[in-house]
Amino acid sequence: MSDPQLKRILGNKDVLALAFGAMIGWGWVVTAGLWITEAGSLGAILAFLIGGLLVVLVGLTYAELTAALPLAGGELVFSYKAMGRVASFVTTWAVILGYVSVVAFEAVALPTVFEYLVPNYSQGYLYTVADWDVTATWAGVGMVGSILITWINYRGVKLSTSVNVILTLLILLAGVLLITGSTAAGNMQNMEPFFEKGTAGLLTVVIMTPFMFVGFDVIPQAAEEINLPRRRIGQLLIISVLMAVVWYVAIIFGVSRVLNPSEIAGSNLVTADAMAKAFGGSQLMGNVLVLGGIGGILTSWIGFFIGGSRAIYALARGGMLPKFLGELHPKYQTPHKAILLIGVISTLAPLLGRPALEWLVDAGGLGLVVAWLMVAVSFVVLRKKEPDLKRPFYLRNGKLIGWAAIIMSVGIGVLYMPGMPSALIWPYEWLIVGVWAVLGFVFYKITIKKYGAKSADEKMKKEIDRVL
């Protein structure tokens, strides 16, 4: 009897909605005002173009490698094939930090957005975190939402992606209304100042962009569940990245064109207030935007549950995490124990309060940049090490693209370091990164000691041989 496998059932619209919905799901609703306040209107647009260039370059390397090695836990497979077991664990553990940070972020973002629809619902003071009061009802909304999303993912990838397609259409509708309304009702004067806080402001927003663009890399995580030609998988990945770049630039332009700096500074949810003002102060239209935002939160939440659980599943299947995390549900064919693990983290996240939004963005962003750097290095190494590897999505000038992705990843990674104007905040953000690194080291050492390095290598080679 053959080992249980993930179901190969995802088509074009499923894959595109999964990646695009994950990338644009939430940040444009909750943090668009912060981008404009930190860097100015054109500064924020420039920051996203810089971040978008990095993601396009890295996305191209992902597209070629995913089409060549379509296995769950894409980064794990790419880096193992190029650099071996330890490098593959570091790469995958870093990307899991990014995914889990997004999932936890959504659990905090949901009650933040919900407050726009039901003002003053936050009741039942519990305690204070970083000068912000956590209440029972506020945390409760995030925790209930987390339990629901965990259940959807537990029940199977087809249910998850079907919900994602519907919600992505809702996001697009809300976003298009905002952009068209702001074009008609706004003016260029509101966009001043075009640049704020100089280079420091620009770099502060640049380091947020990896976290905003993460989502295209969910495609390689779900590669074994995609029922499409390999070349098509690579094409959809790049299409989703380009769509996200256009989306973010358009949202920043729309918001800054409608709201002036003082209105942005006084708003708790600038996108909703911009929508309302663009349509003559209509609270109804503001609520439409919020519903789109909630849809975005859910698409991103679902997408990164899929990505994170498949990455954990792949590590366990490859003998680098405890075996139970690599088990598939006998009925739903999902890595249910990995899903439940992420669900627990997500459900606890609202207890950190709203300040956790920024901490999770920055700490998760660093993890993603590390993973993207390792994938770009893997790309360059495999071009030299495995010249005859079948590459259905082959990049012309691939070596140049690979090195450009490496250089940009290193450049943006440096911005997170101490001494930089956009460095991670001590102690909160460095604590998240440090605890995650220690957990990874402990889990890896315990698993390898129990099952053996040779066993892990044999499992990884067996999986890779399945698709070669």
**pTM of structure:** 0.83
CATH architecture entry for 12-461: Up-down Bundle (1.20)
What whole-number percentage of the chain has pLDDT above 90?
41
Highest mean pLDDT among 45-59, 210-224, 357-371: 45-59
Give tens-digit pLDDT for 92-112.
Answer: 999 999 888 888 888 888 888
Which pLDDT band, with edges at 50, 70 and 90, does 6 fall under?
Answer: confident
What is the pLDDT averaged over residues 53-58?
88
Mean of the pLDDT values across residues 255-278? 88
What are the structural domain ranges in the chain?
12-461
SS (H, E, C) the chain: CCCCCCCCCECHHHHHHHHHHHHCCCHHHHCHHHHHHHHCHHHHHHHHHHHHHHHHHHHHHHHHHHHHCCCCCHHHHHHHHHHCHHHHHHHHHHHHHHHHHHHHHHHHHHHHHHHHHCCCCCCCEEEEECCEEEEHHHHHHHHHHHHHHHHHHHCCHHHHHHHHHHHHHHHHHHHHHHHHHHHHHCCHHHHCCCCCCHHHHHHHHHCCHHHHHCCCCHHHHCHHHECCCHHHHHHHHHHHHHHHHHHHHHHHHHHHHHCCHHHHHCCCCHHHHHHHHHCCCCHHHHHHHHHHHHHHHHHHHHHHHHHHHHHHHHHHHCCCCCHHHHCCCCCCCCCHHHHHHHHHHHHHHHHHCCCHHHHHHHHHHHHHHHHHHHHHHHHHHHHHHCCCCCCCCCCCCHHHHHHHHHHHHHHHHHCCCCCCCCCCCCCHHHHHHHHHHHHHHHHHHHHHHHHCHHHHHHHHHHHHHHHC
Is a pLDDT exceeding 60 seen at residue 151? yes
pLDDT at 1: 39
Per-residue pLDDT tens over the stretch 186-196 = 888 888 889 98
